[in-house]
Amino acid sequence: MAVAEPRRVGYLYILPALLVYGLFLLFPLLHSGWISLFSWDGLTVGTFVGLDNYAALAADVGFLAAFGHVAVLLVFFAVLPVSIGLVLATALSRTRIRGMAFFRTALFLPQVVAMVVVAIAWQRIFAPDGALNDLLRLVGLDGLVTAWLGESGTALIAVGLVGTWVQTGLAVVLFLGGIGKISGELFDAVRLDGGGVVREFRTVVLPALRAEIGVALTLTVIAALRTFDLVYVMTPQGGPGGSTTVPSYEIYHRAFHSGQVGSAAAIGITLTALAFLITFGITKVTGRDR
């Protein structure tokens, strides 16, 4: 363990970091809480309204719709990637794979490409003359051909599918790492016992991957909650019929375009509280100690 020893000089070491952190993160966060108590258009003097901004959110159609959209995105950003990741990692764990470094590099790649670039790449795929429609025509599903990002019924799902693409590699690589640490004897024991893949998954893989599942869920759920770049670039102005608005978009739009700065700050604080709750909640359930 640490060479922890009493040293006042420690204050000097943390001072610069603390200063920047306080100035550019802590203070803005507190200020955000303060602004959220005002009705303010960003230009004139605001009026103090207490918690009215928060109360108003509960009945705010636009805000509730944005959270509804995030609920859908959660399935695509978190549930699907983690499920696919678990199945894939389990399947891969049964064989010694040659060239794993290559596969891992490829699977993880979506995590490092700038979101704006990801958005543009998928915009092409979802375009009326794009690859997805070509594929559908090829396999005879002409009925499904549509302008994916231009229809209010499909735009959100299209954005979600991109989220699945981005997050699946993260989950797979995380779980493969976890499975790699499981002793091979445990798998052999289940097999000698006549257990199949399903039992192997339930009794060996799932319990051993609790911590990794917790990490994957935390990262992906928070990513879903915070989605901005993707919807902003792929579906401008909140998408067809406002079908792809998300809380981050509402914050941006209210603060910088519709003069509801107090309301935007209130959404920001709500989002922060939610991120905290989710992180702690998942940490508690999966028993990951910080």
Partner 1 sequence: MRASRLERVGTYAVLAVFTAYALYPVLAILFTALRPEVVGQGGVHWENFAKAWHEGNFGSYLGTSAIVSGSVVAISVVLSVLAGYAFGTMRFRGHQALFYLMLLGIMVPAEAIVVPLYFDLRDLGLTNSYLALIGPQVAQSVAFGAFWMRTYFSSASRSVVEAARLDGAGHWQTLWRVLLPMGRPALVTLIVMVFMWTWNEFLLALVMVTDEALRTAPLGLRFFSGRAVTSVPLLAAASVLVALPVVLVYLFLQRHFIRGMLDGAVKG
- DSSP conformation letters of 160-179: HHHHHHHHHHHHHHHHHHHH
3-state secondary structure of 198: helix
Backbone φ and ψ for 128, nearest 5 degrees, come out as: -50, -35
Instruction: Give me the amino acid identity at 88.
Output: L
Distance in angstroms (rounded) separating the CA atoms of residues 262 and 287: 37
Using CB under 8 A, which of 74, 80, 82, 172 touches partner 1? Answer: 172
Give the dihedral of Cα atoms 199, 200, 204, 209; nearest 10 deg.
-100
Q: Which of 173, 179, 205, 282 binds partner 1 (CB under 8 A)?
A: 173
Closest to partner 1 by CB, 79 vs 274, is 274
To the nearest whole angstrom, how small is the minimum distance from the Cβ of residue 274 to partner 1?
Answer: 9
Contact (CB, 8 A) for 242 and 61: no
Residue given tokens 């794979």 in the structure block: 97
Confirm or reject binding of residue 284 to partner 1 (CB under 8 A).
Answer: no
The residue with tokens 């060996």 is 204
Q: CB of residue 176 vs partner 1: minimum separation in angstroms?
A: 10
Instruction: Select the span of 65-73, 74-82, 142-150, 184-192 touching partner 1 (CB under 8 A).
Output: 184-192
The CB-of-193 to partner 1 minimum distance in angstroms stands at 15
Strand ranges, E, within 205-276: none
- Write out 134-150 in H/E/C secondary structure: HHHHHCCCHHHCCCCCC
In angstroms, what is the minimal distance from the CB of 239 to partner 1? 16
Among the listed residues 72, 79, 121, 189, the single contact to partner 1 using CB under 8 A: 121
For partner 1, the closer CB: 101 or 139: 101
**What residues numbered 10-49 form the site for partner 1, per CB under 8 A?**
10-11, 13-14, 16-18, 20-21, 23-26, 28-29, 31-32, 34-35, 42
- Mask 99-118, x = binds partner 1 (CB under 8 A)? --x-xxxxxxxx-xxxxxxx
Q: Scanning residues 141 to 170, which ones bind partner 1 (CB under 8 A)?
A: 165, 168-169
| Tokens of residue 225, six digits | 């909650």
Q: Toward partner 1, which CB reaches closer, 154 or 169?
A: 169
Write out the binding residues for partner 1, residues 201-260 only, by CB under 8 A: 211-212, 215, 219, 222, 225-226, 228-229, 232-233, 236, 247-248, 251-252, 255-256
Q: How many CB atoms lie within 10 A of CB 156?
A: 24
Q: Which amino acid is present at 9?
A: V
Nearest distance in Å: CB 21, partner 1: 5
Single-letter residue type at 78: A
* Least distance between partner 1 and beta carbon 83 (Å): 13
